[in-house]
Homo-oligomer: A and B are copies of this chain.
Amino acid sequence: MGASKKILFTPQQNRLAELAKALAHPARIAILEHLFRVNDCVCGDIVEAVPLAQSTVSQHLNELKKAGLIHGEIEGAKVCYALDPKAWADIKILLGRFLETPNCC
């Protein structure tokens, strides 16, 4: 075994875990921070902003896309990546609600 057992959890729990997973790598944090800074539509200079090989960065971009956090638009030979406002609102609500639950022992 070793496959994650999504069936056993609620959609909310799975979605929250999925969003967290998208943030669970410093390179992806760095990519998102870069997209924050350059809030104009930014293209593949992301590769230069992250100290990893081009193919690796491409994979990380794909994971962010799969989670719905960003989307890329083809613009000639380049691709324009941008944050997805809808998904971003989503993550704010879900994570916000999660973090603000009254806690503690």
Contacts and interface: CB of A to CB of B under 8 A. Distances in A.
Contact of A17 (B5, B23, B41, B91): B23
Contacts of A88: 103-104
A103 B39 contact: yes
Interface residues of A, number: 46
Interface in A35-88: 35-36, 39-42, 51-52, 82-83, 85, 88
Contact of A9 (B4, B30, B40): B30
B102 A99 contact: no
Contacts of A40: 105
A28 B40 CA distance: 36
A5 B101 contact: no
B8 A51 contact: yes
Interface string A14-44: 1011001111111111101101100111100
Given A41-B105, A95-B99, 8 more contacts: A4-B25, A5-B51, A9-B29, A9-B51, A13-B29, A20-B22, A23-B24, A85-B104
